[in-house]
Structure 1
Amino acid sequence: MFNVLDFREIFTAGMVLFAVIDIVGSIPIIIDLRKKTGHIQSEKASIVAGIIMIVFLFLGKEILNLIGIDVNSFAVAGSFILFFLALEMILGISLYKDDAPETASIVPLAFPLIAGAGTMTSLVSLQAEYETVNIIVAIVFNIIFVYLVLKSSSKIEKILGSQGINVVRKVFGVILLAIAVKLFAANIQSLFS
Protein backbone atom coordinates (compact mmCIF):
# COMPACT_ATOMS: atom_id res chain seq x y z
CA MET A 1 0.00 0.00 0.00
CA PHE A 2 2.70 2.49 0.97
CA ASN A 3 4.69 1.80 -2.20
CA VAL A 4 1.84 3.36 -4.25
CA LEU A 5 1.68 6.51 -2.11
CA ASP A 6 2.65 9.31 -4.47
CA PHE A 7 2.79 12.79 -2.96
CA ARG A 8 2.39 14.43 -6.37
CA GLU A 9 -0.84 12.49 -6.94
CA ILE A 10 -2.05 13.24 -3.41
CA PHE A 11 -1.31 16.94 -3.88
CA THR A 12 -2.98 17.15 -7.32
CA ALA A 13 -6.06 15.15 -6.25
CA GLY A 14 -6.22 17.23 -3.07
CA MET A 15 -6.10 20.47 -5.05
CA VAL A 16 -8.86 19.27 -7.41
CA LEU A 17 -11.09 18.32 -4.48
CA PHE A 18 -10.24 21.54 -2.62
CA ALA A 19 -11.22 23.61 -5.66
CA VAL A 20 -14.41 21.63 -6.35
CA ILE A 21 -15.57 21.51 -2.72
CA ASP A 22 -14.79 25.26 -2.54
CA ILE A 23 -15.34 25.40 1.21
CA VAL A 24 -13.69 28.84 1.41
CA GLY A 25 -16.09 30.15 -1.24
CA SER A 26 -18.97 28.62 0.74
CA ILE A 27 -18.15 30.61 3.88
CA PRO A 28 -20.95 33.16 3.19
CA ILE A 29 -23.48 30.27 2.94
CA ILE A 30 -22.09 28.68 6.12
CA ILE A 31 -22.34 32.01 7.97
CA ASP A 32 -25.95 32.41 6.78
CA LEU A 33 -26.76 28.91 8.03
CA ARG A 34 -25.14 29.68 11.38
CA LYS A 35 -27.23 32.87 11.71
CA LYS A 36 -30.48 31.07 10.82
CA THR A 37 -30.02 28.01 13.02
CA GLY A 38 -27.58 29.21 15.67
CA HIS A 39 -25.32 26.15 15.43
CA ILE A 40 -23.59 24.03 12.80
CA GLN A 41 -22.59 20.44 13.56
CA SER A 42 -19.10 20.67 12.06
CA GLU A 43 -17.93 17.20 13.15
CA LYS A 44 -21.04 15.41 11.92
CA ALA A 45 -21.14 17.26 8.57
CA SER A 46 -17.43 16.58 7.93
CA ILE A 47 -17.61 12.87 8.82
CA VAL A 48 -20.75 12.26 6.73
CA ALA A 49 -19.26 14.13 3.74
CA GLY A 50 -16.06 12.05 4.02
CA ILE A 51 -18.03 8.80 4.16
CA ILE A 52 -20.14 9.80 1.13
CA MET A 53 -16.99 10.64 -0.85
CA ILE A 54 -15.13 7.41 0.03
CA VAL A 55 -18.20 5.23 -0.64
CA PHE A 56 -18.68 6.89 -4.03
CA LEU A 57 -14.99 6.46 -4.78
CA PHE A 58 -15.35 2.68 -4.37
CA LEU A 59 -18.86 2.21 -5.78
CA GLY A 60 -18.81 4.90 -8.48
CA LYS A 61 -17.26 2.59 -11.12
CA GLU A 62 -19.71 -0.22 -10.34
CA ILE A 63 -22.64 2.19 -10.66
CA LEU A 64 -21.28 3.38 -14.01
CA ASN A 65 -20.75 -0.21 -15.22
CA LEU A 66 -24.30 -1.04 -14.20
CA ILE A 67 -25.65 1.67 -16.53
CA GLY A 68 -23.09 0.91 -19.25
CA ILE A 69 -20.75 3.93 -19.05
CA ASP A 70 -16.96 3.49 -19.05
CA VAL A 71 -14.73 5.52 -16.71
CA ASN A 72 -13.06 7.42 -19.57
CA SER A 73 -16.42 8.70 -20.86
CA PHE A 74 -17.38 9.74 -17.35
CA ALA A 75 -13.99 11.42 -16.89
CA VAL A 76 -14.50 13.44 -20.10
CA ALA A 77 -17.99 14.42 -18.91
CA GLY A 78 -16.45 15.26 -15.51
CA SER A 79 -13.87 17.48 -17.18
CA PHE A 80 -16.73 19.54 -18.65
CA ILE A 81 -18.32 19.92 -15.21
CA LEU A 82 -14.96 20.95 -13.71
CA PHE A 83 -14.52 23.38 -16.62
CA PHE A 84 -17.87 25.06 -15.92
CA LEU A 85 -17.26 25.09 -12.14
CA ALA A 86 -13.92 26.80 -12.83
CA LEU A 87 -15.64 29.38 -15.06
CA GLU A 88 -18.14 30.09 -12.27
CA MET A 89 -15.28 30.62 -9.81
CA ILE A 90 -13.17 32.78 -12.14
CA LEU A 91 -15.93 34.93 -13.63
CA GLY A 92 -18.07 35.18 -10.50
CA ILE A 93 -21.14 33.97 -12.37
CA SER A 94 -23.65 31.30 -11.46
CA LEU A 95 -24.46 28.78 -14.19
CA TYR A 96 -26.32 26.51 -11.76
CA LYS A 97 -27.57 27.34 -8.32
CA ASP A 98 -29.29 25.11 -5.74
CA ASP A 99 -31.99 26.58 -3.59
CA ALA A 100 -30.66 28.03 -0.35
CA PRO A 101 -30.71 25.41 2.41
CA GLU A 102 -33.15 26.03 5.23
CA THR A 103 -31.39 24.28 8.10
CA ALA A 104 -27.79 23.61 9.07
CA SER A 105 -28.21 19.85 9.14
CA ILE A 106 -26.31 17.08 7.39
CA VAL A 107 -28.30 17.50 4.18
CA PRO A 108 -27.26 21.00 3.10
CA LEU A 109 -23.74 20.83 4.52
CA ALA A 110 -22.46 17.30 3.95
CA PHE A 111 -24.54 16.88 0.79
CA PRO A 112 -24.69 18.80 -1.55
CA LEU A 113 -22.49 21.65 -0.23
CA ILE A 114 -19.37 19.56 0.56
CA ALA A 115 -19.93 16.25 -1.26
CA GLY A 116 -22.01 17.44 -4.19
CA ALA A 117 -22.30 16.49 -7.84
CA GLY A 118 -19.02 18.19 -8.77
CA THR A 119 -17.17 16.31 -6.04
CA MET A 120 -18.65 12.95 -7.11
CA THR A 121 -17.75 13.58 -10.75
CA SER A 122 -14.24 14.63 -9.74
CA LEU A 123 -13.72 11.45 -7.69
CA VAL A 124 -14.57 9.10 -10.55
CA SER A 125 -12.57 11.26 -12.97
CA LEU A 126 -9.55 11.23 -10.63
CA GLN A 127 -9.83 7.46 -10.31
CA ALA A 128 -9.20 7.19 -14.04
CA GLU A 129 -5.83 8.92 -13.52
CA TYR A 130 -4.59 8.21 -9.97
CA GLU A 131 -4.19 5.39 -7.46
CA THR A 132 -7.20 4.98 -5.12
CA VAL A 133 -5.06 5.17 -1.96
CA ASN A 134 -3.73 8.60 -3.01
CA ILE A 135 -7.26 9.86 -3.62
CA ILE A 136 -8.35 8.60 -0.17
CA VAL A 137 -5.46 10.49 1.47
CA ALA A 138 -6.50 13.60 -0.51
CA ILE A 139 -10.11 13.16 0.69
CA VAL A 140 -8.98 12.86 4.33
CA PHE A 141 -6.85 16.03 4.08
CA ASN A 142 -9.76 17.90 2.49
CA ILE A 143 -12.25 16.71 5.13
CA ILE A 144 -9.88 17.86 7.90
CA PHE A 145 -9.63 21.26 6.18
CA VAL A 146 -13.42 21.40 5.72
CA TYR A 147 -13.86 20.67 9.44
CA LEU A 148 -11.44 23.45 10.40
CA VAL A 149 -13.20 25.92 8.09
CA LEU A 150 -16.64 24.97 9.43
CA LYS A 151 -15.40 25.39 12.99
CA SER A 152 -13.84 28.81 12.37
CA SER A 153 -15.94 30.24 9.51
CA SER A 154 -16.72 33.53 11.30
CA LYS A 155 -13.04 34.15 12.12
CA ILE A 156 -12.00 33.37 8.52
CA GLU A 157 -14.60 35.79 7.17
CA LYS A 158 -13.28 38.56 9.43
CA ILE A 159 -9.64 37.87 8.48
CA LEU A 160 -10.08 37.51 4.70
CA GLY A 161 -13.01 39.82 4.14
CA SER A 162 -15.21 39.45 1.07
CA GLN A 163 -12.41 40.61 -1.27
CA GLY A 164 -9.97 38.03 0.12
CA ILE A 165 -12.51 35.22 -0.31
CA ASN A 166 -13.08 36.35 -3.93
CA VAL A 167 -9.32 36.29 -4.66
CA VAL A 168 -8.96 32.77 -3.21
CA ARG A 169 -11.93 31.59 -5.31
CA LYS A 170 -10.47 33.01 -8.52
CA VAL A 171 -7.01 31.49 -7.92
CA PHE A 172 -8.49 28.04 -7.34
CA GLY A 173 -10.78 28.56 -10.32
CA VAL A 174 -7.76 28.97 -12.61
CA ILE A 175 -6.11 25.86 -11.10
CA LEU A 176 -9.35 23.89 -11.57
CA LEU A 177 -9.62 25.08 -15.20
CA ALA A 178 -6.11 23.80 -15.96
CA ILE A 179 -6.89 20.45 -14.31
CA ALA A 180 -10.14 20.16 -16.34
CA VAL A 181 -8.21 20.68 -19.58
CA LYS A 182 -5.59 18.06 -18.56
CA LEU A 183 -8.30 15.56 -17.56
CA PHE A 184 -10.09 16.07 -20.88
CA ALA A 185 -6.88 15.65 -22.92
CA ALA A 186 -5.84 12.49 -21.03
CA ASN A 187 -9.20 10.71 -21.42
CA ILE A 188 -10.46 11.85 -24.82
CA GLN A 189 -7.71 9.83 -26.57
CA SER A 190 -8.85 6.53 -25.05
CA LEU A 191 -12.40 7.10 -26.31
CA PHE A 192 -11.19 7.04 -29.92
CA SER A 193 -8.53 4.33 -29.60
Structure 2
Amino acid sequence: MWSTFNLKEVFTASMVLFAVIDIIGSIPIIIDLRKKSGHIESEKASIVAGLLMVVFLFLGKEILNLIGIDVNSFAVAGAFILFFLALEMILGITLYKDDTPQTASIVPLAFPLIAGAGTMTSILSLRAEYETVNIIVSIVINVIFVYAVLKSSGKIESILGQQGINVIRKIFGVILLAIAVKLFTANIQSLF
Protein backbone atom coordinates (compact mmCIF):
# COMPACT_ATOMS: atom_id res chain seq x y z
CA MET A 1 0.00 0.00 0.00
CA TRP A 2 2.72 2.50 0.97
CA SER A 3 4.77 1.60 -2.13
CA THR A 4 2.38 3.78 -4.15
CA PHE A 5 2.74 6.75 -1.77
CA ASN A 6 3.58 9.85 -3.78
CA LEU A 7 4.13 13.22 -2.10
CA LYS A 8 3.24 15.15 -5.26
CA GLU A 9 -0.12 13.33 -5.52
CA VAL A 10 -0.78 13.96 -1.82
CA PHE A 11 -0.05 17.67 -2.25
CA THR A 12 -2.22 18.02 -5.37
CA ALA A 13 -5.12 16.03 -3.91
CA SER A 14 -4.85 18.01 -0.66
CA MET A 15 -5.04 21.28 -2.58
CA VAL A 16 -8.08 20.07 -4.55
CA LEU A 17 -9.91 19.04 -1.37
CA PHE A 18 -8.83 22.22 0.44
CA ALA A 19 -10.22 24.37 -2.37
CA VAL A 20 -13.48 22.39 -2.62
CA ILE A 21 -14.12 22.13 1.12
CA ASP A 22 -13.33 25.88 1.33
CA ILE A 23 -13.29 25.89 5.11
CA ILE A 24 -11.70 29.37 5.13
CA GLY A 25 -14.54 30.69 2.97
CA SER A 26 -17.00 29.00 5.34
CA ILE A 27 -15.71 30.88 8.39
CA PRO A 28 -18.61 33.40 8.24
CA ILE A 29 -21.12 30.50 8.34
CA ILE A 30 -19.20 28.81 11.17
CA ILE A 31 -19.11 32.04 13.19
CA ASP A 32 -22.84 32.51 12.62
CA LEU A 33 -23.49 28.93 13.79
CA ARG A 34 -21.37 29.52 16.89
CA LYS A 35 -23.36 32.68 17.71
CA LYS A 36 -26.72 30.92 17.26
CA SER A 37 -25.95 27.77 19.23
CA GLY A 38 -23.13 28.89 21.51
CA HIS A 39 -20.97 25.83 20.75
CA ILE A 40 -19.62 23.93 17.75
CA GLU A 41 -18.71 20.26 18.11
CA SER A 42 -15.42 20.57 16.22
CA GLU A 43 -14.13 17.07 17.02
CA LYS A 44 -17.32 15.24 16.07
CA ALA A 45 -17.89 17.30 12.92
CA SER A 46 -14.31 16.71 11.72
CA ILE A 47 -14.34 12.96 12.44
CA VAL A 48 -17.74 12.40 10.81
CA ALA A 49 -16.73 14.43 7.73
CA GLY A 50 -13.49 12.45 7.42
CA LEU A 51 -15.31 9.14 7.75
CA LEU A 52 -17.87 10.18 5.12
CA MET A 53 -15.10 11.07 2.70
CA VAL A 54 -13.17 7.81 3.24
CA VAL A 55 -16.32 5.69 2.95
CA PHE A 56 -17.26 7.47 -0.28
CA LEU A 57 -13.73 6.98 -1.60
CA PHE A 58 -14.14 3.20 -1.26
CA LEU A 59 -17.86 2.73 -1.96
CA GLY A 60 -18.53 5.58 -4.37
CA LYS A 61 -17.23 3.66 -7.39
CA GLU A 62 -19.35 0.62 -6.51
CA ILE A 63 -22.42 2.82 -6.16
CA LEU A 64 -21.71 4.29 -9.60
CA ASN A 65 -21.20 0.83 -11.10
CA LEU A 66 -24.49 -0.25 -9.60
CA ILE A 67 -26.28 2.48 -11.55
CA GLY A 68 -24.14 2.01 -14.68
CA ILE A 69 -21.83 5.03 -14.62
CA ASP A 70 -18.05 4.71 -15.01
CA VAL A 71 -15.56 6.73 -12.96
CA ASN A 72 -14.31 8.70 -15.97
CA SER A 73 -17.83 9.92 -16.77
CA PHE A 74 -18.30 10.89 -13.14
CA ALA A 75 -14.92 12.66 -13.19
CA VAL A 76 -15.98 14.71 -16.22
CA ALA A 77 -19.24 15.61 -14.47
CA GLY A 78 -17.19 16.43 -11.38
CA ALA A 79 -14.99 18.71 -13.46
CA PHE A 80 -18.09 20.73 -14.38
CA ILE A 81 -19.11 20.99 -10.72
CA LEU A 82 -15.61 22.10 -9.73
CA PHE A 83 -15.67 24.60 -12.60
CA PHE A 84 -18.88 26.19 -11.31
CA LEU A 85 -17.66 26.14 -7.68
CA ALA A 86 -14.51 27.92 -8.87
CA LEU A 87 -16.61 30.53 -10.69
CA GLU A 88 -18.57 31.13 -7.48
CA MET A 89 -15.32 31.62 -5.55
CA ILE A 90 -13.65 33.86 -8.12
CA LEU A 91 -16.61 36.03 -9.13
CA GLY A 92 -18.30 36.14 -5.73
CA ILE A 93 -21.60 34.97 -7.20
CA THR A 94 -23.93 32.29 -5.90
CA LEU A 95 -25.01 29.70 -8.43
CA TYR A 96 -26.27 27.26 -5.79
CA LYS A 97 -26.08 27.26 -2.02
CA ASP A 98 -28.00 25.40 0.66
CA ASP A 99 -29.80 27.41 3.28
CA THR A 100 -27.68 28.34 6.28
CA PRO A 101 -28.08 25.59 8.87
CA GLN A 102 -30.03 26.49 11.99
CA THR A 103 -28.01 24.52 14.56
CA ALA A 104 -24.33 23.74 15.03
CA SER A 105 -24.65 19.96 15.08
CA ILE A 106 -22.81 17.31 13.08
CA VAL A 107 -25.35 17.39 10.24
CA PRO A 108 -24.85 20.94 8.99
CA LEU A 109 -21.11 20.99 9.67
CA ALA A 110 -19.92 17.52 8.62
CA PHE A 111 -22.51 17.29 5.85
CA PRO A 112 -23.06 19.34 3.71
CA LEU A 113 -20.67 22.11 4.80
CA ILE A 114 -17.44 20.05 4.94
CA ALA A 115 -18.21 16.79 3.12
CA GLY A 116 -20.78 18.04 0.65
CA ALA A 117 -21.59 17.14 -2.94
CA GLY A 118 -18.58 18.99 -4.34
CA THR A 119 -16.22 17.19 -1.97
CA MET A 120 -17.67 13.77 -2.80
CA THR A 121 -17.47 14.50 -6.53
CA SER A 122 -13.87 15.61 -6.12
CA ILE A 123 -12.94 12.46 -4.21
CA LEU A 124 -14.26 10.23 -6.99
CA SER A 125 -12.64 12.42 -9.62
CA LEU A 126 -9.32 12.17 -7.77
CA ARG A 127 -9.72 8.40 -7.55
CA ALA A 128 -9.78 8.26 -11.35
CA GLU A 129 -6.29 9.81 -11.40
CA TYR A 130 -4.48 9.15 -8.10
CA GLU A 131 -3.60 6.22 -5.86
CA THR A 132 -6.03 5.53 -3.00
CA VAL A 133 -3.39 5.84 -0.26
CA ASN A 134 -2.49 9.35 -1.45
CA ILE A 135 -6.14 10.42 -1.39
CA ILE A 136 -6.59 9.01 2.14
CA VAL A 137 -3.55 10.97 3.37
CA SER A 138 -5.00 14.08 1.68
CA ILE A 139 -8.35 13.53 3.41
CA VAL A 140 -6.61 13.18 6.79
CA ILE A 141 -4.58 16.36 6.19
CA ASN A 142 -7.75 18.27 5.30
CA VAL A 143 -9.70 16.90 8.27
CA ILE A 144 -6.91 18.03 10.61
CA PHE A 145 -6.96 21.47 8.99
CA VAL A 146 -10.76 21.63 9.18
CA TYR A 147 -10.61 20.74 12.87
CA ALA A 148 -8.04 23.49 13.51
CA VAL A 149 -10.18 26.04 11.67
CA LEU A 150 -13.36 25.01 13.50
CA LYS A 151 -11.57 25.27 16.85
CA SER A 152 -10.08 28.70 16.14
CA SER A 153 -12.60 30.28 13.75
CA GLY A 154 -13.00 33.40 15.90
CA LYS A 155 -9.26 34.05 16.02
CA ILE A 156 -8.89 33.43 12.27
CA GLU A 157 -11.65 35.91 11.49
CA SER A 158 -10.06 38.62 13.62
CA ILE A 159 -6.61 38.02 12.09
CA LEU A 160 -7.60 37.82 8.40
CA GLY A 161 -10.60 40.11 8.39
CA GLN A 162 -13.26 39.88 5.71
CA GLN A 163 -10.91 41.20 2.99
CA GLY A 164 -8.28 38.56 3.79
CA ILE A 165 -10.86 35.78 3.66
CA ASN A 166 -12.10 37.09 0.29
CA VAL A 167 -8.57 37.19 -1.16
CA ILE A 168 -7.83 33.61 -0.03
CA ARG A 169 -11.13 32.45 -1.46
CA LYS A 170 -10.36 33.99 -4.87
CA ILE A 171 -6.85 32.49 -4.97
CA PHE A 172 -8.21 29.01 -4.28
CA GLY A 173 -10.96 29.64 -6.82
CA VAL A 174 -8.36 30.13 -9.55
CA ILE A 175 -6.50 26.97 -8.41
CA LEU A 176 -9.77 25.04 -8.43
CA LEU A 177 -10.59 26.32 -11.92
CA ALA A 178 -7.24 25.06 -13.24
CA ILE A 179 -7.82 21.69 -11.56
CA ALA A 180 -11.29 21.43 -13.12
CA VAL A 181 -9.82 22.00 -16.59
CA LYS A 182 -7.13 19.36 -15.93
CA LEU A 183 -9.70 16.83 -14.68
CA PHE A 184 -11.88 17.46 -17.72
CA THR A 185 -9.09 17.08 -20.28
CA ALA A 186 -7.60 14.00 -18.58
CA ASN A 187 -10.90 12.11 -18.42
CA ILE A 188 -12.76 13.25 -21.55
CA GLN A 189 -10.26 11.44 -23.80
CA SER A 190 -11.05 8.05 -22.23
CA LEU A 191 -14.75 8.48 -23.03
CA PHE A 192 -14.14 8.58 -26.80
Q: Give me the TM-score of the superposition, normalised by structure 1.
A: 0.99
Quick check: 1:64 aligned with 2:64?
Answer: yes
Read off the aligned partner of 2:136 and give its amino acid letter: I
Give the SS at the match of 1:162: helix
Give the SS at the match of 1:94: coil
Can you list the C-alpha shifts for 1:71-128, whole angstroms capped at 9, x where unaligned? 0000000000000000000000000010110000001000000000000000000000
Give the SS at the match of 1:93: coil
Structure 2 counterpart of 1:80 = 80
Correspondence 1:12-23 to 2 at 5 A? 12-23=12-23
Q: Give me the TM-score of the superposition, normalised by structure 2.
A: 1.00
Can you list the C-alpha shifts for 1:33-70, whole angstroms capped at 9, x where unaligned? 00000000000000000000000000000000000000
Quick check: 1:37 aligned with 2:7?
Answer: no
Structure 2 CA distance for aligned equivalents of residues 146 and 97 of structure 1:
20
Shift of 1:166: 0.2
Quick check: 1:137 aligned with 2:160?
Answer: no
Please tell me the root mean square deviation across aligned C-alpha atoms, in Å: 0.3
Quick check: 1:26 aligned with 2:3?
Answer: no
Read off the aligned partner of 1:134 and give its amino acid letter: N
Structure 2 counterpart of 1:108 = 108
Structure 2, unmatched stretches of 5+, are none
The runs of at least 4 consecutive aligned structure 1 residues that moved more than 4 Å come to none
Structure 1, unmatched stretches of 5+, are none
Correspondence 1:140-159 to 2 at 5 A? 140-159=140-159
Q: In the comparison of the two structures, how many residue pairs are matched?
A: 192
Read off the aligned partner of 1:89 and give its amino acid letter: M
Quick check: 1:185 aligned with 2:185?
Answer: yes
Read off the aligned partner of 1:126 and give its amino acid letter: L
| Aligned sequence identity (%) | 83
Quick check: 1:89 aligned with 2:97?
Answer: no
